Amino acid sequence: MVNSFNTLQYESKKLGVMYFTVAAILLGAQLLLGLVAAIQFIYPSFLFEILDFNVARMVHINALVVWLLYAMIGSVYFLMPDETGIETVGIGLGKLGFYVLTAAVTVVVLVYILVQVGPASESTIWLINEGREYIEAPRWADIGIVVVVLVFLANVYLTAIKGERTGIMTVLMADLMALAGLYLAGMFYTDNISMDQYWWWWVIHLWVEATWEVFVASIIGWALIKIIGANREIVEMWLWIEVAMLFGSGILGIGHHYFWIGTPEYWWEIGALFSALEPIPLVAMFVHVMYDWGKEAGVKKAHGEEAVMNNNPAFLWFVGSAFGNFLGAGVWGFFHTLPQVNIYTHGTQFTAAHGHLAFFGAFAMAMIAMFYMGVQATNGIERMKMTFASKMGFALICIGVVGMTVALTIAGYGQVLVERAQMGATWEAYFISQNGHWFLQAMGWRLVMGIVTLVGFAYLVYDLLTIGKSKVQNG
């Protein structure tokens, strides 16, 4: 049975939409600061001492992580009533958590931007930032985040215990516990940079390649049931297989970050083997989406019925994300995951190419799809079709991000050949390669493609705000 009834009848869904709204705003901030950093690659004095490169870059990638977390938390509040059949337990506290978190995020970002330079002292860690790439929030905010997340987990667990507990809910319960627990690994300090990096990767790698991957697999599973009426048994069977594979390869795959940071050499073998296996579950995820889609359409056709599809833009972004996940994480990740290759590519623009396509393909696309689910519910539309702006948003954002990825990959090649292979990875070589033609042209193209992405984002926002009222829906 297709549950096409997608409205805001539960408070939990309303809270989900509130989280989506802030997520979309932070996505805009992320893109703007990415553009500032991209301009600074070409004109290094741009906004010097007003908004320095290191700050623009920090806000760009922290905003990315925070908006994705917002969208994830929002997704759980949004889908929970569908899976459990009841209103979320303790929803009032959940809403309070949302306001506290949003106030804290605002303060943190303002401090990032206002305090550009300063000493690296104990008080900096507590008040300004922790200096850990992607999760730079100062310690006071860390502690606040932990409290809000505990409220969130309480909401999820109490609701699942009281209501119906589907396979999707069970996977989410286990996954969210792991996801939250890992954050703690990035909260304590050691004076030893190798040890510090060792633990920091527990958050970053074990988030994106294990717990977040399992998370999007669950969300896509839910969405396939919701949008095309996929068979729950099949969806959940796939989900269990993916969970087993994702955890199997993703956890020990962490070895690919332990090649050169002073950890024992056995990580070469472990990292090479397990991280090379990581693309397999990503292919499985792609096959899963396509299989369910094809199967549902086939069954319907055999019965002479029209295949159901009640949210076209969301479905487009979900299918895009299954493919983008495979391409960005699987293919671009595999490129540089063997130590024999990584010794040349480590820390070049190759890494940034992979970072952009993987984060975008695997997570940003799936979460943008969830924005459309939120918009559908907000406007109470039974079958949401695409508008011109939906298509433009999708096309321009995809062209922009893929274009940036290609440009960065070329820049990375330049660095590998000149800086690493020819000149032996010296400090001088680093600067010479960054002044090479290939590198400079690629930085120009990255900026152009970044602007294309931003224009696509403008279409996306316009669409999210207006699609509910557009004539297309009733045509």
Rank residues 205 and 446 by Cβ distance to Fe ion and give the closer one.
205
SS3 sequence of the chain: CCCCCCCCCCHHHHHHHHHHHHHHHHHHHHHHHHHHHHHHHHCCCCCCCCCCHHHHHHHHHHHHHHHHHHHHHHHHHHHHHHHHCCCCCCHHHHHHHHHHHHHHHHHHHHHHHHCCCCCCCHHHHHHCCCCCCCCCCCHHHHHHHHHHHHHHHHHHHHHHHHCCCCHHHHHHHHHHHHHHHHHHHHCCCCCCHHHHHHHHHHHHHHHHHHHHHHHHHHHHHHHHHHHHCCCHHHHHHHHHHHHHHHHHHHHHHHHHHCCCCCCCCHHHHHHHHHHHHCHHHHHHHHHHHHHHHHHHHHHHHHCCCCCCCCEHHHHHHHHHHHHHHHHHHHHHHHHCCCHHHHHHHCCCHHHHHHHHHHHHHHHHHHHHHHHHHHHHHHHCCCCECCCHHHHHHHHHHHHHHHHHHHHHHHHHHHHHHHHHHHCCCCHHHHHHHHCCHHHHHHHHHHHHHHHHHHHHHHHHHHHHHHHHHCHHHHC
Is the CB of 141 or the CB of 208 nearer to Fe ion? Answer: 208
CB of 6 to ligand HEM, least distance (A): 26
Q: Indicate which of ligand HEM, Fe ion, none lies near residue 359 (CB less than 5 to 8 Å, by partner kind).
A: ligand HEM
Establish if 364 lies at the interface with ligand HEM (CB under 6 A).
Answer: yes
Q: Site for ligand HEM (CB under 6 A): which residue of 6, 75, 211, 337?
A: 337
Both tokens assigned to 26:
């932070």
Nearest to 73 by CA among 33, 121, 16: 16
Binding segment (CB under 6 A) for ligand HEM, from list 29-37, 77-85, 234-242, 467-475: 29-37
What's the closest the beta carbon of residue 307 comes to ligand HEM, in angstroms?
A: 30
Q: For Fe ion, which stretch binds (CB under 5 A), given 51-59, 202-210, 419-427, 453-461?
A: 202-210
34 binds ligand HEM (CB under 6 A): yes
Pick one of Fe ion, ligand HEM, none as the site partner of residue 60 (Cβ within 5 to 8 A by kind).
ligand HEM
298 membership: H or E segment, kind and range: helix 279-302
Minimal distance, residue 329 CB to ligand HEM, in Å: 4
Window 109-168: residues binding Fe ion (CB under 5 A): none
Residues 147-206 binding ligand HEM (CB under 6 A) are: none
Nearer to ligand HEM, 180 or 261 (CB): 261
- Which residues, 271 to 310, sit near ligand HEM by CB under 6 A? 275, 278-279
Rule CB under 6 A: choose which of 51, 182, 228, 362 binds ligand HEM: 362
**Can you give the length of the chain in residues?**
475
Among the residue ranges 121-129, 155-163, 181-189, 354-362, the one whose residues contact ligand HEM (CB under 6 A): 354-362
Choice between 230 and 408, CB closer to Fe ion: 408
DSSP 208: I
The stretch near ligand HEM (CB under 6 A) out of 59-67, 70-78, 108-116, 467-475 is 59-67
354 binds ligand HEM (CB under 6 A): yes
Residue 205 sits in the site that holds Fe ion (CB under 5 A): yes
Q: How many residues bind Fe ion (CB under 5 A)?
A: 2
**Minimum distance, C-beta of residue 363 to Fe ion, in the bound complex (Å):** 14
Closer CB to Fe ion, 205 or 346, in the complex: 205
Q: Provide CB contacts within 8 A for 15, sequence distance 6+.
A: 74, 77, 88, 91, 94, 95, 98
> Minimal distance in Å, beta carbon 337 to ligand HEM?
4
- Report how many residues bind ligand HEM under the rule CB under 6 A: 41
Position 37 contacts ligand HEM (CB under 6 A): yes
What does DSSP assign to residue 87?
Answer: P
Closest residue to ligand HEM, Cβ-based? 333
Helices and strands counted in the chain (H then E): 19, 0
- Min dist CB 17 to ligand HEM, Å, is 21
Among 81, 320, 355, 456, binds ligand HEM (CB under 6 A): 355
Under a CB-based contact definition with an 8 Å cutoff, are residues 396 and 410 in contact? Answer: no
- Segment interacting with ligand HEM, rule: CB under 6 A, options 76-84, 154-162, 312-320, 334-342: 334-342
Residue 64, interface with ligand HEM (CB under 6 A)? Answer: yes
Query: Is 454 a binder of ligand HEM (CB under 6 A)?
Result: yes
Write out the residues near ligand HEM by the rule CB under 6 A. Answer: 31, 34-35, 37-38, 41, 57, 60-61, 64, 133, 208-209, 256-257, 275, 278-279, 329-330, 333-334, 336-337, 342, 346-347, 351-352, 354-356, 358-360, 362, 364, 401, 450, 453-454
Write out the residues near Fe ion by the rule CB under 5 A. Answer: 205, 209
